Structure formats: structure tokens, C-alpha cells
Amino acid sequence: DAGVTQSPTHLIKTRGQQVTLRCSPKSGHDTVSWYQQALGQGPQFIFQYYEEEERQRGNFPDRFSGHQFPNYSSELNVNALLLGDSALYLCASSGAGKWYNEQFFGPGTRLTVL
Amino acid sequence: DAKTTQPNSMESNEEEPVHLPCNHSTISGTDYIHWYRQLPSQGPEYVIHGLTSNVNNRMASLAIAEDRKSSTLILHRATLRDAAVYYCILGTTGANSKLTFGKGITLSVRP
């Protein structure tokens, strides 16, 4: 079992550009959540996808959008990048049909905005 | 979301027990207490969770106060690999549960 995988590992962009980050969930999981972790802070919830729809969303602007594919993999898109978007972006997956949904995290994508 | 309060940091010696405290005075009756940890350069990983009773698993024990306003994560024998940021989180366990992380407590382990 490969666990949760994310790509790319690192990314450097300039202000105003757009970026797409990718996540493959753990085998058997159908729910994907995205988190942003600034340096020295805990991860902050961005949104969660289930059955290809955004199920809930944290306090992030519309510049942050996502998508979930039929194979449960997911993308996070960020438009009009700001310097403050520099962070570690974490993807977590969990499975439906379980009373306790332990979340499994990937290693993250480190985004640097110059 | 109900908030948790944790010390910023704690030090321990290798092979000794470690008690990591967490205060959550505004916990609701349906909130579970979750602990995750984040090793350097990795994503967070699940440690343990509980509702009212003390819980044990292969990684740790969770001791929950009778009034549920505080809890303690217990690592029975700290190893160097246990050096990490430990997050105490309140929340539900349903299919749409999300994790609201604070800053966590940074545990250092001395050899």
C-alpha cells in the first residue's frame, strides 16, 4: 500500500501565477481533505472532497479551488498567487463507512511564491 | 470549534515516560479528543483518540479527566524517534470530520 502520495514535492512560482497540486489517496479511501501549513504553525483546513464534490470548506478565499476525480484522486488549484500562499500543502485521505475516520496524510508539497 | 490549550514545548529523556497535557475546557459532549503528531519533514500521523474512557494502543495511552476538560497523552518509553510536534484536537468522528489544528507541543527527546 503506497499510502497518500502528493506531487510535486517542491514548487517555486511567482506572484500572480497559478498552481495545481495533486494528491492520490490511500487505497480504499474516498474522502480527500486539503490543508495549508505555514512555517511554525499547525495545518489549516482548506476544504474536503467526497463523491467528486466539495463537502465542506475552511476560511480560504475563492482563489483556492479543487477537484476530485472518479478514482478519488484530487487536485488543489490556487490562482493569482500571493507571497502569503507560500506554505506546505498537505493532503489527507480517509475512508467512508467507518465510524472513526482516521486521516492519513501525505508528505506534502512545499510551495514557494517569489 | 472548541479550542485546546497546550504548552509550547517539553523535553524528556530517552526511555523515560512522557506526559503531554492538553486543556479543553469548552469541550462539548459529542467532541472526541484526537492526538496527531508530526515528525520533522513529514505530514501529521494519527496517534490515538478517545471520548470518555482512557485508551491504550501500541503507540501511546490517552488519559481523560473525569470532567473531560483536560487530557494527557502518555508515551510510556520515549525514543529519539518520538521527537515531534504533538497536536491535541477536538472534533467529531463522522465521515465529514475535519481536523482543526492548533500550534501543538514540540517534544524534544534527549539521548
Our CA angle for B50, B53, B56, nearest 5°, is 65
Residues 6 or more apart whose Cβ sits within 8 Å of residue A18: A77, A78, A79, A80, A81
B93 near A CB under 8 A: yes
Lowest-confidence region among A71-75, B56-60, B93-97: B93-97
pLDDT of A108 reads 97
What kind and span of H or E run contains A6?
strand A5-7
Question: Other CB atoms closer than 10 Å to residue A101's CB: what's the count?
Answer: 23
The Cα B80–Cα B64 span in angstroms is 26
Residue A96 is predicted with a pLDDT of: 65
Say yes or no to pLDDT of B28 above 80.
yes
CB–CB of A79/A14 below 8 Å?
A: no
The closest of B51, B94, B98 to A97, measured between CA atoms, is B94
Q: Is the pLDDT of residue B3 over 90?
A: no
Residues of chain A with Cβ-Cβ distance to B100 below 8 Å are 45
B97 Cβ under 8 Å from any chain A Cβ: yes
Q: Taking residues B1-10, what's their average pLDDT? A: 88
pLDDT less than 70: residues of chain A: 1, 96-101
Nearest to B96 among A35, A48, A97 (CB): A48
Under 8 Å between Cβ of B19 and B74: yes
Does residue B70 have a pLDDT over 60?
A: yes
Is there a contact between A101 and B98 if contact means CB atoms under 8 Å apart? no
B57 Cβ under 8 Å from any chain A Cβ: no
- Output the DSSP codes for A16-55: T--EEEEEEPPTT--EEEEEEE-TTS--EEEEEEETTEEE
Which region holds residue A103: left if phi is over 0, alpha if psi is between -120 and 50, else beta?
beta
Q: Does the structure show a pLDDT above 90 at B97?
A: no
| pLDDT of residue B39 exceeding 90 | yes
Most B CBs within 10 Å, among A56, A59, A100, A110, to test the B interface: A100
B99 touching A (Cβ < 8 Å): yes
Interface size between A and B, measured as CB pairs under 8 A = 62
Half-sphere exposure of B44 (CA within 13 A, CB side): 35
Rg (CA), chain A: 13
CA-atom Rg of chain B in angstroms: 13
